[in-house]
Homo-oligomer: A and B are copies of this chain.
Amino acid sequence: MDSAYKKLVKLFTRQYRLTHMGAMIGWDEAVMMPAGGGEARGKAMAELALISHELFANDDSIADLLAAASEAADPSDQWHVASIKTMKRQWQQTVCLPADLVEAKSLASTKCEQAWRHMRGENDWKNFKPIFTEVVNLTRKEAEIRSGVNGTSKYNALLDLYEPGQKSENIDIVFAQLKAFLPQLIQEIAEKQKTATCIQPVGPFTSESQKALGLKIMAQIGFDFDHGRLDVSHHPFCGGVPEDVRITTRYSEDDFVESIMGVIHESGHASYEQGLPAAYRELPVGCANGLGMHESQSLIFEMQICRSPEFISFLTPWIIEHFGQQGDAKINKAALTPDNIQAIYLQVKPDFIRVNADEVTYPCHVILRYEIEKALIEGAIEVADIPELWNEKMETYLRLSTKGNYKDGCMQDVHWPSGALGYFPTYTLGAMNAAQLFAAMQKALPQVKADIKAGDFSALRQWLKENVWSQASLHSIEDLMAQATGEPLNGKYFETHLRQRYL
Interface positions of A (Cβ within 8 A of B)? 14, 17-18, 20-21, 24-25, 28, 32-37, 39-41, 43-44, 47-48, 51, 224-229, 240-241, 243-244
- Whether the pair B20, A244 counts as a contact (CB closer than 8 A) is no
- Whether the pair B229, A34 counts as a contact (CB closer than 8 A) is yes
Of the candidates B20, B44, B51, the one whose C-beta lies within 8 Å of that of A20 is B44
Of the candidates B18, B25, B35, B244, the one whose C-beta lies within 8 Å of that of A34 is B244
Contacting residues, chain B, for A41 (C-beta < 8 A): 20, 243-244
A216, chain B: closest CB distance, angstroms: 17
**Copies of the polypeptide in the assembly:** 2
A32-B229, A35-B226 are known contacts; what are 11 more A-B pairs with Cβ within 8 Å?
Answer: A17-B43, A17-B44, A17-B47, A21-B47, A24-B24, A25-B25, A34-B244, A36-B243, A37-B228, A37-B243, A40-B244
Of the candidates B25, B32, B224, B244, the one whose C-beta lies within 8 Å of that of A21 is B25
A384, chain B: closest CB distance, angstroms: 33
Contacting residues, chain B, for A17 (C-beta < 8 A): 43-44, 47-48
Contacting residues, chain B, for A43 (C-beta < 8 A): 17, 20
A20, chain B: closest CB distance, angstroms: 4
Contacting residues, chain B, for A39 (C-beta < 8 A): 243
A39 to B278, CA, bound (A): 13
- Whether the pair A36, B229 counts as a contact (CB closer than 8 A) is no
- Whether the pair A48, B21 counts as a contact (CB closer than 8 A) is yes
Sample 11 A-B pairs with CB under 8 A, ordered by A number. Answer: A17-B43, A20-B25, A24-B28, A34-B227, A34-B228, A34-B229, A35-B226, A37-B228, A37-B240, A37-B243, A40-B244
- Whether the pair B47, A18 counts as a contact (CB closer than 8 A) is yes
- Whether the pair B40, A243 counts as a contact (CB closer than 8 A) is yes
A241 to B40, CA, bound (A): 9
The 7 residue pairs across chains A and B that have the minimum distance between CB atoms: A37-B244, A36-B226, A40-B243, A17-B47, A20-B44, A36-B227, A17-B44
- Whether the pair B21, A227 counts as a contact (CB closer than 8 A) is no
A272, chain B: closest CB distance, angstroms: 17
A24 to B43, CA, bound (A): 14
Beta-carbon nearest neighbor of A33 in chain B: B244
A36, chain B: closest CB distance, angstroms: 4
Contacting residues, chain B, for A240 (C-beta < 8 A): 37
A160, chain B: closest CB distance, angstroms: 27
Contacting residues, chain B, for A24 (C-beta < 8 A): 24-25, 28, 44
